[in-house]
Structure 1
Amino acid sequence: MKTLILGLSLGLMTVGVAHADRLDDIQKEGVLRVGTTGDYRPFSYHDGETLSGYDIDVAKHMADQLGVKVEFVETTWKGLLDGLAQDQYDIAMGGITRKMQRQLNAEQTQGYMTFGKCFLVAKGNAEKYDTLEEANQASTKVGYNIGGTNELFAKEHLTSAKFTTYENNLDVPEAVAEGKVDVMVTETPEALYYQSIDKRLEASSCADPFTKSQFGYLIPKGEQRLLNTVDFIMDEMKLKGVEEDLMEKNALK
């Protein structure tokens, strides 16, 4: 009988350990660790010494709803999934495209904005590069950041162009403005944002983008409670107008 009771006790202890999850850890430690690249306006970027952007504001709101502090952990597009799997952060945020490859290696939240791939070009060149055919020429210099969906798009659709790669996505618009590259592969929110703040730049094909996708956030694989909680917070943000307010604040509306 003692052996049976001991076995049941150990079994219950094992079940208890198995059900411990990331959300419990966040609440226990009092910190939500957010992985972000810090190089994608207007979602996550350096504004002086601090991080700014829509997803930075959302991260702060999520931490507040959870009753914890927020800690930003800078990563790269190439290392985004690895950092999540290696427990460097609890959630990845910052203009991250929802796609199948990421779904197979992590959990993806609901989408929060529909957008598409387009180009950022020098002022006056929008019509010159408003189709894939026009941009896909040996004479065209295309710039993109390494490790993200911009790189995948360029390698699939602009095979004849000359590529210039950048570790930091913030360097690409400046390269376009200075004439170092002709076309930056980007998404509609980023292209329209740079067009609004830099008179040297112009968005191309944003009215009818080449693709359609949504942004979302990445949660470690198998962390269903944390995923459900983040989705709940996102639903509440829509319901109470928080999402709209933050989008207006960050020039996304």
Structure 2
Amino acid sequence: MRRSLPLWSLLNAVLAGVLAVAGMAVPAAAEPPPSRLWSVPLSGVLRVCTTGDYPPFTVRDSGGNYRGVDISLATELATMLHAVPQWVPTTWTTLTQDFLAHCDIAVGGISDTASRRAVADVSVATVTDGKTPVTRRSSGDAYSSIDEIDRPEVRVVVNPGGTNENFARTHFPQAQIMVWPDNLTIYDQLSHGKADVFVTDSIEGLYRQREYPDLQVLHPDKPFDSAAKVYLLPRGDTTFNGVVNAWLQVQISNGRTTALLGDWLS
């Protein structure tokens, strides 16, 4: 272990700095634990699972480049860990499996759910959001409530595998559930009149309605539910997860997360 001590000393300094800024106690220096806090700087790579289809949190452009609120934060987190981000493409259906098999963290508008907590730890909440209807402006307020949506003649479009589909299948058993595989083009189904309503997180709806002026987000300030947006973290890696959470808490406290979200929604 002698060759590793200089790097471990560096990591202890990083840990001490992050925890001190966050106002947390700094643990005594120790030999390297089996933690991502050791392996990530050693490899120089932070492996980040992300779907790339959920703006403003994560979006992959036609050139294969990732952008978004959580992409920016994950890039800055990697820099703090003396690493560079490696984006690992995933889908909402395979998110947890891909995270467990291939990634150090997962980011991109991920809702905190019991099923995800069953296999991974989660970070502090970066933002809190909720499900709300997106419809054509010509529909007025016809689909404002769950009861108004949950009717046999209503066509509800969903993207597969995530909380949007789960919410629709739970709350709209009488409606026509239409699964559309591409979350980036799902709004075309509404705009072209092939679906009546899409229930998604209000932040995503507010961002996407700028691209579709014929669409509207109903009562975004009063969503149907409330859920924290979090990062998936390795189960039981308290050393690494503690540093990530402390760093995130600093970004929240100093307004960095709010500023990034404002830039995307403005």
Cross-structure match for 2:229: 215
Q: Work out whether 1:66 is the aligned partner of 2:81.
A: yes
Structure 1 residue corresponding to 2:218, chosen from 180, 199, 204: 204
1:105 aligns to what SS in structure 2? coil
Equivalent residue runs for 1:219-230 within 5 Å: 219-230=233-244
Which of structures 1 and 2 has the bigger CA Rg? 1
CA apart distance, 1:171:
2.1
Q: 1:167 to 1:225 in 2, by over 3 A?
A: farther
Instruction: Decide which moves more: 91-100 or 164-173.
Output: 164-173
Cross-structure match for 1:109: 123
1:196 aligns to what SS in structure 2? coil
Contact 1:125 1:202 in 2 (8 A): no
Contact 1:124 1:202 in 2 (8 A): no
Question: Which amino acid is 1:136 matched to?
Answer: D
CA apart distance, 1:53:
1.0
Instruction: Decide which moves more: 239-248 or 153-162.
Output: 239-248
Cross-structure match for 1:123: 137
CA apart distance, 1:126:
4.2
Cross-structure match for 2:153: 139
Equivalent residue runs for 1:19-34 within 5 Å: 19-34=33-48
2:199 aligns to what SS in structure 1? strand
After superposition, the C-alpha distances for 1:157-185 in whole angstroms (9 at most, x for unaligned) are: 00111111122211211211111111112
Q: TM-score, normalised by structure 2?
A: 0.84
Q: TM-score, normalised by structure 1?
A: 0.88
Equivalent residue runs for 1:9-28 within 5 Å: 19-28=33-42
2:177 aligns to what SS in structure 1? strand
Alpha-carbon distance in structure 2 between the residues aligned to 1:158 and 1:23 = 44
Structure 2 residue corresponding to 1:190, chosen from 201, 204, 209: 204
Question: Which amino acid is 2:118 matched to?
Answer: L
Equivalent residue runs for 1:54-93 within 5 Å: 54-86=69-101, 88-93=102-107
Q: Work out whether 1:234 is the aligned partner of 2:233.
A: no
List alignment gaps of at least 5 residues for structure 1: 1-15
Instruction: Decide which moves more: 68-77 or 191-200.
Output: 191-200
Q: Would you say how many aligned residue pairs link Structure 1 and Structure 2?
A: 236
Cross-structure match for 1:9: none
Instruction: Decide which moves more: 33-42 or 188-197.
Output: 188-197
- Percent identity between matched residues is 31
Cross-structure match for 1:94: 108
Alpha-carbon distance in structure 1 between the residues aligned to 2:160 and 2:252 = 32
Alpha-carbon distance in structure 1 between the residues aligned to 2:140 and 2:50 = 30
Contact 1:143 1:181 in 2 (8 A): yes
List alignment gaps of at least 5 residues for structure 2: 1-29
1:120 aligns to what SS in structure 2? strand
Q: 1:126 to 1:101 in 2, by over 3 A?
A: farther
CA apart distance, 1:17:
10
CA apart distance, 1:207:
2.5
After superposition, the C-alpha distances for 1:10-44 in whole angstroms (9 at most, x for unaligned) are: xxxxxx99931222111100011110001111111
Question: Which amino acid is 2:77 matched to?
Answer: M
Cross-structure match for 2:13: none
Question: Which amino acid is 2:75 matched to?
Answer: K
